[in-house]
Amino acid sequence: MLRKKPGDLKMKTIRYAVLLLLTTVAGSGCWLVHKRPVRLANLPRFQEALAAEGLRADVRGRAVLVEFWSRLCPHSEELIPEIQRLQEQYGAGGLLVISVCQDGVDSEPLVREYLLSRGANYTVIFDDGRISDEFRVPAAPALYLFDAKGRLAGRNLDTKDLKGLERLIRQILPEGPGERAVAAPD
């Protein structure tokens, strides 16, 4: 039978207290990061990808819908016509759809052919995992909406509630020259 030394219980209690304190501090730090307003300008890896595609100027003053997807995800494929429709319907009113393919940078030719065969002609950038990490994407598909000032308007939006997404898009579209795109009735 093993006997415990009198100091063992005290050390164990101190270790648990320190662990609890560190977990609380780390957890509150994460909470602050998630609650802080995110801006497109504060996403350097995403900005690098936009610059590489010559798109950095295109996002200024526009609402931006960022879609993370993969060819391996059946729900991502189901969303292609809807994302295309949103770009066509709201593009003239100030919406820019940027699709981030999570299949890796080596898959570019395959992915472009895949999208064209499904009638999609919106902007696609390719992710090596760093952009997904920067956005903290939980799983594909995931949608993030930014207003015309580059502020996050919706994070990880429900891809099954496209009417809700459309309402949010209409709320944040910038006023531009001429008329805004007319939305389909709910």
Is 69:76 a contact under the CB 8 Å cutoff? yes
Helix/strand/coil percentages in the chain, nearest 5: 50, 15, 35
The string of pLDDT tens digits covering residues 59-95 is 888 999 999 999 888 888 889 999 999 999 999 999 9
Residue 178 within a domain: no
Residue 148, pLDDT > 70, answer yes
The string of pLDDT tens digits covering residues 8-31 is 666 665 555 444 443 333 333 333
Tell me the average pLDDT of the chain. 78
Q: Are residues 138 and 154 in the same domain?
A: yes
Residue 182 within a domain: no
Residue 52, pLDDT > 60, answer yes
Is 137:160 a contact under the CB 8 Å cutoff? no
Structure tokens at 171: 């709320």
Q: How many residues does the chain have?
A: 186
What is the mean pLDDT of the segment spanning 124-130? Answer: 92
Q: Are residues 49 and 95 in the same domain?
A: yes
Range of the domain at 15: 7-35
| pLDDT at position 3 | 58
Split into its structural domains, the chain has a count of 2
> What are the phi and psi torsion angles at 77 (to 5°)?
-65, -40
Q: Are residues 48 and 18 in the same domain?
A: no
